[in-house]
Amino acid sequence: MHSALSLNITCKLSVCPVFELLERGEVLEVPTDTPLSESKAWTYFRDVIQGIEYLHYQRIIHRDIKPSNLLLGEDGCVQIGDFGVCNEFHGSDASLSNTAGTPAFMAPEALNNSTFSGKCGNKLVSR
């Protein structure tokens, strides 16, 4: 199981995810003595990409990745929070036709009321 997901328990007829309490809060709001280094930024970026990759492997689309949903664990790793608008998808090529999430952080193709794929960000990761 990915470190971002602690465990699942069965509650009568549904699955209830149980998440770790991340008291350090949002990554960009954690107080520090020095500015965020490029090396640490790349580490955080890698954590987010690995978290998204894990979710997609589990056939879950988060739909609201934004700074306030990126939380810092006690181990210093970034974890993804707020699964309130996530969706499950089937097949290898998920298409979405409704919008969800925070408009300021949505891909342009998600804002024009047409069917779109979650693959839009794949080309951004080249390093």
Map residue 123 onto helix, strand or coil: helix
**Quick one: 13 exposed, middle or buried, by C-beta within 10 A (0-12, 13-18, 19+)?**
exposed
Task: With beta carbons less than 8 A apart as the criterion, state whether 66 and 15 touch.
Answer: no
Task: With beta carbons less than 8 A apart as the criterion, state whether 78 and 25 touch.
Answer: no
- Judge whether 75 counts as a catalytic residue: no
CA atoms of 119 and 75, how far apart (whole Å): 30
Q: Which of 92, 93, 123 is nearest to 107 (CA)?
A: 123
Task: Point out the catalytic residue in the list 64, 75, 82, 93.
Answer: 64
Q: Which residues are catalytic?
A: 64
